[in-house]
Structure 1
Amino acid sequence: MPQPEKELNPEGSPEEWFGAELRYWRKLSGLSAAKLGPMVQVSPDVISKIEKGKYRCRRDLAEQLDEVLKTGGVLARAWGMVFGDADKKRRDADSAPMGTVEGTIQVHQGRMLGGDTSAQLPGSLASVDRRAFLAYTSLAAVAPIDLARLVAPTAPPELPKRIRPTELDQLSLVADYIHRADNTHGGGGMLGNFASRSMEYAIQLLTVDCPEQLRPELLAHVARLGIVVGATHFDAYSHDDARVAFKIASECAEEAGDWWLRAKTYSFLSRQATWLGDPDKGLTYAEQGLVRSDRLTPTIQAMMHSARARAFGKMHDVQGTLAAVGAADEAFSRSNPAEDPPWMHYYDEAQHHGDTAHALFDLSIHKDQDPGRTAQRFGAAVTGHSDDYARSRGISATKLASLIMVKGDPMQAITIGHKALDDVGQLTSKRAADDLKELRRFAGKHRTLDEAAYLRQRITATLQA
């Protein structure tokens, strides 16, 4: 007579929670550990040890288990939450800086680059809630992050019993606030934590009873919130959090049938992939966002072609970049703000010039393409951005200074670099910080210039502040 299986404690540790999930799906399929093991090319003892939290499941094994147990990808996503997060922490520890650079420059601006801005809040949802979340999102590959743990405050807000227009208005107000704060100050610090909590609450709203006529609006509002939350995490280099938010946004937009929001999510997925060194994936995302471009406004088309141009630029594909920039310019020439949703109003002439200039930057630096055209676009972006878009203005100014430092008059570049620091030094933006590091590196090539040395020292002091 077979012995009864040991009762599991899914709250004991992340590994034990993962094991409990495996047992849940195994039993749902009517399989014993002895039968399941050979089906995924491991011993029954390995299955038992994983279920008890005593064995570290491999990613490929989790994927095999998903396929055999027909979970819809739940275990692979759970693997990312449990084991992927541990891998990420080890990688972060291995890459931590071993010391600080000496600097004696007094910098009155400088709040950027603290420690890890994606610190998780204590607490977690019950296992059944996590399972429901994993099953609901049906994402192909969730990043190694437990979204539930990210945003569970000590006393989470009480959910309504039924969705009303009031909840939709609140989602809109929160998304507007995060968007403004992100563009003005950057995505780091407290904003990232607030954004995460807001996203978790929005996800929970999807489980609340909702009148049929309000369901598409609810999905669209969650999608829009996911976009701004993802953008905030992207700027703070919390890339796993950003990817999850963008994926949720894309699914909600798809279900809502909102082609405009769908394109916006793919625009950000494209930009993130390109930024992380995978322009081929970035180009794929951009092309996906342009599906049925006839349903997109000219402004949104221009945004998507700019994303394509950025990907081609990182590939150093001259013809592809120039063609994509041309397509973006042509679409933007037909832009009519009255046709655009309110959340697209940020994409004005300054934004368009900045986005396309970023695409051309790599060609000017690496492929000896005309730097004047790139500089002109960056200059228009710097001039056109208001204080509400201080981050975009600061980043464009930094890139302009880098371009001129390499291809033009270094003294002019130094002047522009100091002005860029006035904006960038006030931000909590790791993207802006990386651009400053690039400028510092380019300035280092002018070692005979005392002014270049001073700019480098000021950049170093700003990054450390």
Structure 2
Amino acid sequence: MPQKPKPLDETRSVRDWWGKELRNWRQVRGLSTRLLGDKVHVSGTTIERIEKNERPCDTALAARLDEALEAGGALVRLWRLVEADADKRQPAPDSAPPASRHADDARPERNDLPVDRRALLAAGGVAALRPTSLLDLLPQPNNAPAPAQVRPEDIEQVLTAATTLSGWDHAYGGGGLVRSSLLGQLAWARGLLQADCPAALEHDLFTAVGRLAVVMGASAFDAYEHQDAIRLLHFGQQCAEHAGNWHLRATALNWLARQAIWCGRPDDGLTHAENGLVRADRLTHREQAMLYNARARALAKMGNPKETLRAIGQSDAIFSHARPSEDVPWMAYYDNAQHHGDTGHAAFDIALLPGQSSTLARQRLQTAVDQHTDAYRRSRAISSTKLATLIMATGDPAHAVDMAHRALDGVGRLRSRRAIDDLKALSRAARPYARDSDVAALQERVALVVAA
């Protein structure tokens, strides 16, 4: 059983009071220390120690915590009292330091602590440093101020960050390092929107920041930070509309549709997809096919096989005319493997309805699995899991077990909540065959990967 949080005594000092208020705000927002740490780029252990007044905070981190917890400035205002109290306790410059001080007061605010090498060796070398001690040696992240005037190089940097981090997201999933990196990049990019921007650069600036917001929204969706995902994707859509960039707008609406469908709101997903197809003449063939696939997936979740198959057919017909040279760079992901994977997911949902064939879904998902490269490990793993689930659900457990183990090889390398949930669905599909030793072994492996 998890241990109860240590009671905090706010009467010991103003800093203890601030730590207790931080915990209260965190609990009100329903966040663990790890999740709050992810939002402000520190570890969950650091958050826990700040709450207990076992580790110092600073002004910049206090402001980030206030923003992450949507405290409306309450934590920032209280932090000013902490600073005022610290100033009162500060000894005069020419006075001797007291013989004994509180541990937090004794630790310098800077993180470049000198290490006595002999003392370290005597204490057992590096092994003597606990993980929390090692974290204390790292500099605290700080939001770098945006430049006063936007330059083309700043816009290029934002686009490069979006491209790099999107690649990480496709390869490793939206959790872990990918999400933390995106948070820092977006804070800086958002500051560019408040800087002086020459009129000639405004379109490119809003496109670049909007693109980064869409990448981050898609990543948040994969990490199940759904409210963040919705805000970020809407922000990306608004940036696209401000820039008049129909290609970015289509991408943002595609992700809004997919997120809504995944969260059990297929009607909202259908609305986003059809909104994206407004003025389809301004979109490339791949972009149109992508949005017809979102439409197909929404219709499938709504239990409408006839309209689902019609939307898949429309997507196929449009995709057959796609030309690589007509697309913006970020649409490179939508290749033949992605098209078959997306149409395969829509076909998967109707294949499980009574009286429906699973042939189309099997063929599409198998093509996606075969053609996805290592750059798109998450898509390959999810399509593999879907295919194994479909094969299991339609009564071929021996074949499904082999496919499922290959899927697990891929999922185990990801930080993707979507991939994990698909594994849970696979395990449920395997329950009728649980007495089979191979199926039982598969379920045990699924349980281990899900728990990791």
Question: For this structure pair, what is the TM-score category when the shorter chain's length is used for normalisation?
Answer: 0.7 to 0.9
2:311 aligned residue (313, 324, 331): 324
Q: Give 2:192's aligned residue.
A: 205
- Report the counterpart of residue 38 of structure 2 in structure 1: 119
Q: Which amino acid aligns with 2:39?
A: Q
In the alignment, what sits opposite 2:120?
none
Change (3 A) 1:380 1:188: same
Secondary structure in 1 matching 2:432: coil
Correspondence for 1:254: 241
Residues 95-123 of structure 1, C-alpha deviations (whole Å, 9 max, x = no match): xxxxxxxxxxxxxxxxxxx9648732143
Deviating beyond 6 angstroms after TM superposition, the runs of 4 or more aligned structure 1 residues are: 143-149
Cα deviation, residue 408, structure 1: 3.9
Q: Distance in 2 between matches of 1:146 and 1:232?
A: 25
Query: Percent identical across equivalent pairs?
Result: 42
Does residue 157 in structure 1 map to residue 149 in structure 2?
Answer: no
CA distance in 2: counterparts of 1:86 and 1:176, whole angstroms = 35
Instruction: Pick from 386, 411, 415 the counterpart of residue 398 of structure 2.
Output: 411
Q: Please state how far the C-alpha of 1:177 moved relative to its aligned partner.
A: 1.1
The answer as to 2:447 corresponding to 1:460 is yes
| Deviation for aligned residue 1:448 | 2.6
Residue in structure 2 matched with residue 421 of structure 1 by the alignment: 408
Is the 1:123–1:154 contact (alpha carbons within 8 Å) kept by the matching residues of 2? no
Structure 2 residues not aligned, in runs of 5+: 1-16, 41-60, 76-139
Separation (CA, whole Å) in 1 of partners of 2:325 and 2:441: 47
Instruction: Check whether the contact 1:404–1:410 (CA below 8 A) recurs between aligned residues.
Output: yes
Judge conservation of contact 1:279–1:311 (CA < 8 Å) in 2.
yes
**Superposition TM-score, scaled by structure 2 size:** 0.72
- Verify the 8 A CA contact 1:305 1:328 in the aligned structure 2: yes
Alignment of 1:355-434 (within 5 A): 355-434=342-421
**What per-residue deviation string (whole Å, max 9, x for no partner) do you get for residues 430-464 of structure 1?**
00000000001111110231100000000001112
User: 1: distance between equivalents of 2:414 and 2:187?
Assistant: 25
Q: CA deviation at 1:405?
A: 0.1
Q: What is the rounded CA distance, in whole Å, between the counterparts of 1:381 and 1:115 in structure 2?
A: 35
Higher gyration radius (CA) = 2
Contact in 1 for aligned 2:39/2:183 (Cα 8 Å): no
Instruction: Kindly provide the amino acid, as one letter, of the partner of residue 429 in structure 1.
Output: S
Does the aligned pair in 2 maintain the 1:145–1:241 contact within 8 Å?
no
Which residue identity does 2:322 align to in structure 1?
S
Quick one: structure 1 residues 252 and 432, their matched pair in 2 at CA, closer, same or farther if it must change by over 3 Å?
A: same
The AA in structure 2 aligned to 1:411 is A
Alignment of 1:165-314 (within 5 A): 165-314=152-301
Unaligned runs of 5+ in 1: 1-11, 17-81, 94-113, 131-142
2:413 maps to amino acid: Q
Q: Report the CA distance between 1:367 and its aligned residue.
A: 3.6
Name which of structure 1's ranges 453-462 and 320-329 shifts more when overlaid on structure 2.
320-329
One-letter amino acid of the structure 2 residue matched with residue 413 of structure 1 = A
**Cα distance in 2 for residues equivalent to 1:461 and 1:437:** 11
The answer to whether the Cα contact below 8 Å between 2:250 and 2:276 also exists between their aligned partners in 1 is: yes
TM-score (norm 1): 0.70
2:330 corresponds to 1:343: yes
Larger relative contact order (Cα-Cα within 8 Å, sequence gap ≥ 6): 1
CA contact (8 A) 2:344 2:365 kept: yes
Residue 438 of structure 1 aligns with an amino acid whose one-letter code is: A
Q: How many residues align?
A: 347
The one-letter code matched in structure 1 to 2:314 is A
| 1:145 CA drift (Å) | 6.2
Once the two structures are superposed, residues 162-186 of structure 1 have per-residue CA deviations (whole angstroms, 9 ceiling, x without a partner) of: 1111101100110011101001111
Moved more, 326-335 or 381-390: 326-335
Asked if structure 2 preserves the Cα contact closer than 8 Å seen for 1:223 and 1:253, the reply is yes
For residues 241 and 297 of structure 2, what CA distance do their matches in structure 1 show? 25
Residue of structure 2 equivalent to 1:37: none
Provide the secondary structure at the position in 2 that maps to 1:123.
helix
